[in-house]
Amino acid sequence: MNRREVIKNVALMLGGTFSASSLMAMNHWEQSTSPNKAGAVFILTDIQQKMVAEIAEIIIPKTETPGAKDVGVPAFIEMMLKDCYKEPDQESFMEGLASLEKVKFLSLNSDERKGVLKFLEQETKKMKSKSTPFWRLIKELTLLGYFTSEAGLKASFQYVQIPGKLELIKLKPNQKSYAY
Amino acid sequence: MNLNIKANKNNTFDAIVVGSGMSGGFAAKELTERGLKVLMIERGHEIKHVEDYDTAMKEPWEFEHRGKTTNISAEERWANSRFPGLGSEEVVNHLTNDKENPYIEKRAFDWIRAYHTGGKSMHWGRQSYRWGKHDFEANAKEGIGIDWPIRYEDLEPWYTHVEKFVGISGQKEGLEVLPDGHFLPAMPLFAPEVHFKNKMMERFNRPVTVGRVANLTQPQDIHTALGRASCQYRSKCQRGCPYGAYYSSLSGSIPAAMRTNRLSILHDSIVSEIIYDEQKKRATGVRIINQNNMQTEEYFAKIIFLNAGSINTAALMLNSKSNRFQNGFGNDSDQVGRNLMDHQLGSGASATVDGFEDDYVFGQRPNAMYIPRFRNWGDDKQTSYLRGFGYQGGASREGWERGISADGFGDDFKQNLTKPGPWNIRIGGFGEILPDPNNRIYLDPNKKDKWGIPMIVTDAAFVENDWAMRKDIVASAVEMLETAGFKNVTSYDRPTHMGLGIHDMGTARMGRDPKTSVLNAFNQVHDCKNVFVTDGAAMTSASCVNPSITYMALTARAADFAVKSLKKKEL
Ligand SMILES: Cc1cc2nc3c(=O)[nH]c(=O)nc-3n(C[C@H](O)[C@H](O)[C@H](O)COP(=O)(O)OP(=O)(O)OC[C@H]3O[C@@H](n4cnc5c(N)ncnc54)[C@H](O)[C@@H]3O)c2cc1C
Ligand code: SF4
């Protein structure tokens, strides 16, 4: 399956309306794909955890610096959703995973996975819903988890614990951001 | 910092100060430095300066939730977490547990509280501006509320006194609308802010200055004597500063008072009532309830300073009933709890800034840019509202967070986020709210808290003048950012209630006439002169500038007056 086909399939899967939001809405009524019922504790299955890890790693891959998996982002995402997000967002996250399960995300190759996520990113922009869309959740948590982890932060930025002064400076070519 | 109460058999002091926050700390300092033995009573737990700033030196990754608000915190701190950032695990444990200390919102009020040593002075934004002459005159000129019994000149020397001790960094500008004070060296404006400043002067004749802020840019002897050191520019002040570089009661006034050996502090002790002696016609002391073991105790003094924070001070007065004061202590005028004011906060605009790609900053500036009031000032006359507003804000380069809403992922995306992003700029208004007797707090006639004290009911909301001003705060912010040539100008207007301006005040106002006010020109309760109220409750109008140095100046002035009166045997 090439990328175009993947996207076509995703689109088909979305019920012909080409809208991720309507799929997510549909899933509300599909008991089997909505595992987090009201009041339920937010827990991911092994497969869901694996998908979260793979997506996080696509967002922040290992390069010459660590990637999302190296610094524990997948577990961080799950913990954050449980501790800091309310049910509508938790549900939205589960629904996002469910729709990716439907396109058998884990059995796609790397290019196909990226294609699906690019598609999802564009679709997310069109969504209007009260809860935070899946893509937005996983992206913000991946970035937060990565750039504030010790290894991620130190590899990405110039970490300054105690600046000791405040100075207007000129940026050098390729200079990294300071982090405090 | 603890004391031995039992050593003092009679529980008797020269003065009692209720509350250890911004104003109570200053009262304790001024009174002890003038020779009085003072008991400061604080309802919350003890926090020791530096030692108990448990999050101050934590690394970003040491916060489990990386600074976000957890669902548990949001539930426990249901009011405090309405203020952006206060639910964060960096600070949340230092804010009051609202679930354990509930209040009733007849009309919603975002009441931000910090029940512990130092009160909200540990968490404030440190912005420090003198009021102008016009602020003390506006009520009388416009026929709003009642006239202040004092003028700028009465407070002027006390502002200087407070500023020297507190240590305020700022730029002298020679503006009537924002009088200069006694300043430490100013912090710099950033390049896009300088551009903005020049454009505003050129196009609107509006001055822009760097924030005046209670962080030590160059400590003086008066500061180092208390162990306070220069700011290190981490801008993590709200966690408490390990260097004592920003002013709080914890870093400043309480150590100064302790140094006299005349201050005792009682923690975990909720002052529930002022004791009034019907024969002597004076207040003789206060009754407390220990917040942990429910035990009650009485303490006595010649004078009492109420500094529990505007709302709690009013509540304490209302709860102190006697034959003489059946309607609440000092409440013949029925003004106690009324005229609750705050500042407008939560609206303004932001924009992206093209250019300045080479400009960057080392260190974090714990400060902002300030645009003084320009509405209803000079030639400007607004038809839809009275008074005005100032803006606080500033420019910064975007960090990795820009990646959240940007398209993309993967290698290049990751790499790109390690570099400073474009500049953006944001300004938000602080607007003056008018006194309105229908904006008030009162005590619920039936419901009591777990200590048996009647619960506080908030019943206040913005009125027409406030809404009209708010509209202009947004519109003017957009206009100014656009005029400066910035791009993607976006307005914001957070749904908000009173309280979110974090400057609650006015609930026991000063005035000339005991029939319409609670306090006289020296903050004495009209009908019981040995009780002084010098927190925000005393305010007769609100100005649009941050209020705390005005509370401290009023406090110092009243303390000086109180001690002189005691010496002359007039109290
Ligand atoms: C996030 C934030 C930012 C702020 N930024 C600024 C700023 O930039 N500039 C500015 O000027 N102001 C600012 N403020 C406001 C400033 O903090 C207050 O104006 C100031 O702290 C008020 O001083 P206070 O003494 O009246 O009350 P507090 O500082 O709140 O102190 C009151 C104390 O009394 C205690 N108490 C209450 N009831 C009782 C009782 N019954 N018995 C015993 N003790 C009692 C409380 O526990 C508390 O310790 C900010 C506030 C917040 C929350
Ligand atoms: S910015 Fe300055 S005052 Fe604030 S915490 Fe850091 S050193 Fe202390």
Rounded to whole angstroms, the Cα distance separating B346 from B496 reads 7
Q: pLDDT-based confidence at A6, cuts 50/70/90?
A: low
Q: Which CATH class is domain B2-71+104-567?
A: alpha beta
- Please give the pLDDT value at position A47: 95
- Is the CB of A167 less than 8 angstroms away from the CB of B365? no
Closest ligand 2 atom to B240 CA: 5
Q: Is B467 on the interface with A (CB under 8 A)?
A: no
Q: Which of B217, B218, B216 is nearest to B248 (CA)?
A: B216
Query: Is 60 exceeded by the pLDDT of residue A26?
Result: no
Q: How far is B45 from chain A (nearest CA, A)?
A: 27
Out of A26-35, B28-37, B146-155, B172-181, which region has the weakest mean confidence (pLDDT)?
Answer: A26-35
Test the B interface: residue of A55, A84, A142 with most B CBs within 10 Å: A84
* pLDDT per position as a tens digit, B408-456: 999 999 999 999 999 999 999 999 999 999 999 999 999 999 999 999 9
Question: If you measure from the C-alpha of residue B121 to the centroid of ligand 2, how many angstroms do you get, rounded to a whole number?
Answer: 14
* Pocket, ligand 1, Cβ cutoff 6 A: B 18-24, 41-44, 83, 112, 114-115, 119-121, 123-128, 270-271, 307-309, 312, 316, 502-503, 535-536, 546-548, 551
- Please give the pLDDT value at position A38: 45
Q: Of the bound ligands, which one is closest to the alpha carbon of residue B245? A: 2
Report DSSP state, residue B567.
H
- Please give the pLDDT value at position A128: 87
Question: If you measure from the C-alpha of residue A173 to the centroid of ligand 1, how many angstroms do you get, rounded to a whole number?
Answer: 46
Query: Is 50 exceeded by the pLDDT of residue B6?
Result: no
Q: Nearest 5°: CA angle at B254, between B3 and B154?
A: 135
- Please give the pLDDT value at position A36: 42
* pLDDT per position as a tens digit, B523-562: 999 999 999 999 999 999 999 999 999 999 999 999 999 9
Domain boundaries along the sequence of chain B: 2-71+104-567
Span B249-274, mean pLDDT? 98
- Is the CB of B414 less than 8 angstroms away from the CB of A63? yes
Q: pLDDT-based confidence at B98, cuts 50/70/90?
A: very high
Q: Is B61 on the interface with A (CB under 8 A)?
A: yes
Q: Is B71 on the interface with A (CB under 8 A)?
A: yes
Span B68-88, mean pLDDT? 96
- Is the CB of A166 less than 8 angstroms away from the CB of B409? no
| A53 vs A28 pLDDT, higher one | A53
Average pLDDT, chain A: 85
Span A118-145, mean pLDDT? 95
Question: The tokens 């339920």 sit on which residue?
Answer: A40
The neighbouring-strand residues paired with B203 are: none
Q: How far is A32 from chain B (nearest CA, A)?
A: 27
Residue of B nearest to A84 (CA): B70
Span B265-272, mean pLDDT? 98
B233: tokens are: 């520019």
Q: pLDDT-based confidence at A21, cuts 50/70/90?
A: very low
- Is the CB of A143 less than 8 angstroms away from the CB of B365? no
Q: Which of B318, B274, B310 is nearest to B530 (CA)?
A: B274
Q: Is B419 on the interface with A (CB under 8 A)?
A: yes
Rounded to whole angstroms, the Cα distance separating A57 from B506 reads 55
Average pLDDT, chain B: 97
A95: tokens are: 């629904």
- Please give the pLDDT value at position A41: 76
Q: Tell the burial category of B79 from Cβ atoms under 10 Å away from its Cβ (0-12, 13-18, 19+).
A: buried
Question: Which pairing describes strands B524-525 and B487-493: parallel, antiparallel, or unpaired?
Answer: unpaired
Span B373-399, mean pLDDT? 98
Q: How far is B406 from chain A (nearest CA, A)?
A: 10
User: In this prediction, what percent of chain B has a pLDDT beyond 90?
Assistant: 98
Closest partner residue to A163 (CB to CB) among B360, B364, B420 is: B364
- B50, B91, B228, B234: residue to mutate for ligand 2 pocket, most atoms within 8 A of CB: B234
Task: Let me know how long chain B is.
Answer: 571
Question: If you measure from the C-alpha of residue A161 to the centroid of ligand 2, how many angstroms do you get, rounded to a whole number?
Answer: 12
Span B47-68, mean pLDDT? 97
Amino acid letter, A128: K
Which positions 363-382 of B are in contact with A (Cβ < 8 Å)?
A: 363-365
Closest partner residue to A171 (CB to CB) among B72, B407, B420 is: B420
- Please give the pLDDT value at position B493: 97
- Asked if B499 and B111 count as a contact pair (C-beta separation under 8 A), the reply is yes
Q: Of the bound ligands, which one is closest to the alpha carbon of residue B215? A: 2
| B163 vs A15 pLDDT, higher one | B163
Query: Is 50 exceeded by the pLDDT of residue A105?
Result: yes
Q: Which of B564, B43, B29 is nearest to B263 (CA)?
A: B29
Rounded to whole angstroms, the Cα distance separating B102 from B96 reads 10
**First-to-last C-alpha distance (Å) of chain B:** 30
- Please give the pLDDT value at position A155: 98
- Please give the pLDDT value at position A14: 47
Q: How far is A168 from chain B (nearest CA, A)?
A: 5
- Please give the pLDDT value at position B122: 98
- Is the CB of A145 less than 8 angstroms away from the CB of B365? no
Span B372-399, mean pLDDT? 98
Neighbours of B550 (CB within 10 A): 25
Rounded to whole angstroms, the Cα distance separating B473 from B430 reads 9
- Is the CB of A121 less than 8 angstroms away from the CB of B407? yes
| B266 vs A14 pLDDT, higher one | B266
Rounded to whole angstroms, the Cα distance separating B226 from B247 reads 11
Residues from chain B that touch A150, judged by Cβ atoms under 8 A, are 59, 61
Question: If you measure from the C-alpha of residue B119 to the centroid of ligand 1, how many angstroms do you get, rounded to a whole number?
Answer: 5
- Please give the pLDDT value at position A2: 55
Neighbours of A11 (CB within 10 A): 16
Query: Is 60 exceeded by the pLDDT of residue A30?
Result: no
Span A107-133, mean pLDDT? 94
Query: Is 60 exceeded by the pLDDT of residue A17?
Result: no
The pTM (predicted TM-score) of the whole model is 0.94
User: In this prediction, what percent of chain A has a pLDDT beyond 90?
Assistant: 74
Span B144-161, mean pLDDT? 98
- Is the CB of B357 less than 8 angstroms away from the CB of A171? yes
Q: How far is A169 from chain B (nearest CA, A)?
A: 5
Report DSSP letters for B152-167, one per residue.
HHHHHHHHHHHHHHH-
Query: Is 50 exceeded by the pLDDT of residue A35?
Result: no
* pLDDT per position as a tens digit, B294-345: 999 999 999 999 999 999 999 999 999 999 999 999 999 999 999 999 999 9
* Pocket, ligand 2, Cβ cutoff 6 A: B 215, 231-237, 241, 243, 245-246, 366
- E-strand ranges in B433-555 read 440-448, 454-459, 487-493, 524-525, 528-533
